[in-house]
Amino acid sequence: MTTDSTSPPPELKSEEKERQAHPFRSLKELLDHVSGKDLPPVKFEDSGRAEILPFPFLAIVGQDEMKLALILGLVNPNIGGILLVGPRGTAKTTAVRSLIDLLPMVERSTCHYGCMPADIEEGGIDAVCPDCAKKYGEGISLTNPSRVRLIELPLNAKLENVVGGIDERAAMQSKIRLKRGILAQADRNLLYIDEANLLSDEVIDAILDAAAQGSYTLRRGAASATYKSRFLLVGSMNPEEGHLRPQIMDRFGLRVVVRGLDNPKERLKAYKQVQAYLDAPHQIVAKYASGTTSIREELEATRARLSQVKLTNRVANKAIEIIQKLGIDSLRAEITWFEAARAYTAASGRNIVKLADLHAVAPMALRLRRSKFIDQYFAEQEGEEEELQSLVKPFKRKRRTPKKKK
């Protein structure tokens, strides 16, 4: 057996490998390593902090409608939020968390109150705080590029956690300062509410109002502040644990009914994907890294194309006819349907919405919008209206025909 004279002995290889893997705690250690000096061993301590390594979006088996709804929401936030309805263990939370690697870059405000240059362009210099007004006048940027983050609302969140409150550290120093809540932190991010049907009414009302207005005002005594709250809202719920109020349900644009996988082969594949992730998460993430990067780039191009996508009156009128035949009263139905169709069209690489695009997103945009209570209420109201008209009819004055002059 011949040995290559240029390669070091095995024991030197192992030493070299250990030296290369040594973590440098200072510039001096790096220079010592380069000069060939032996470095003292480093003891690794478990900090107890978990590494954020979400399950890859592309590794999710089946659930095509859920994945499509989430992608459309990333393309066009004007859809108005997404609600995932289904039993436990159907990958609802996993799918939402897997979006972390697909989230886009945005220009994020560096201000505590979320001031943006667009605020000045729309409302003048008084539309931003004094500090940002000064920066703007000096030509200092008010934003920095940053990736959209996933903000998860804790299940036990209280109203003060959501909207904010008095800064306790400042209060200990006899200062009055407000602390931003989760809604302000979610500005220009993705806000995820798991088990949305279990939140208290005051918390869910605050979230929906902030989402609808794009901002909210926090008042605590003499102190008050208005914070930006522009976010994509995603919620999930298990109908076994209770229902959402109609008012809350109407605020979610797309509604996806998530069921278990029917195909035995898909269920087995899903198990193997989960097993591989639990055994070696870095390997399965690396396996789908290339595809994840491709999807993220495609989403960037699709968002850029969205502004060019148009909906003709002919197509829109046909869609409105369907909404009226379904007996849907809320105008949010067509807003969601049309915006979802525009996102679908942009993702398909086209600029004109077709009927086929509306058909592709119709179920998730129109389901769970009719109300039996409202139908019954209006039916009773019509009966009462007819009765009232019949009773007051005798009081209606008859028009006198003018006499003809002789």
Q: What is the pLDDT of residue 117?
A: 84
Identical topology for domains 57-104+148-277 and 307-370: no
Q: What is the pLDDT of residues 180-205, one digit of tens each?
A: 888 888 888 899 999 888 888 888 88
CB 102 within 8 A of CB 57: yes
Reported as a single tens digit per residue, the pLDDT across 265-322 is: 999 999 999 999 999 899 999 999 999 999 999 999 999 999 999 999 999 999 999 9
Confidence of residue 405 (pLDDT cuts 50, 70, 90): low
* pLDDT number for residue 13: 41
Q: Is 307-370 assigned to CATH 1.10.3720.10?
A: no
Distance of alpha carbon 184 from alpha carbon 169, whole angstroms: 19
For the chain, which residues make up each domain, given as ranges? 57-104+148-277, 307-370
pLDDT digits (tens, 9 = 90+) for 352-389: 999 999 999 999 999 988 766 666 776 777 777 777 77
The pLDDT of residue 218: 84
Return the CATH class of domain 57-104+148-277: alpha beta
Query: Is the model more confident about 359 or about 51?
Result: 359
Reply yes or no on whether 332 is catalytic. yes
Which one has a higher pLDDT value, 387 or 75? Answer: 75
CA distances 141 to 59, 72, 144, Å, are 40, 31, 8
The one-character DSSP state at 84 is E
Other Cβ atoms closer than 10 A to 365: 28
**Catalytic residue, candidates 149, 177, 332, 350:** 332
Q: Which DSSP symbol is given to 335?
A: H
Taking only the tens place, the pLDDT of each residue in 10-28 is 443 444 444 444 445 555 6
In the prediction, which pLDDT does 245 show? 80
pLDDT of res. 170: 59
Across residues 1-10, what is the average pLDDT? 42
* Confidence band of 403 (pLDDT split at 50, 70, 90): low
pLDDT tens digits for range 231-261: 889 999 998 888 888 777 888 899 999 998 9
Cα dist. 80→112, 230, 403 in Å?
Answer: 25, 11, 63
**pLDDT given for residue 309 in this prediction:** 96
Output the pTM of the full model: 0.74
Query: In this structure, is the dihedral angle defined by the CA atoms of residues 217, 218, 223 and 228, taken in order, positive or negative?
Result: negative
Structure tokens belonging to residue 120: 């000045």
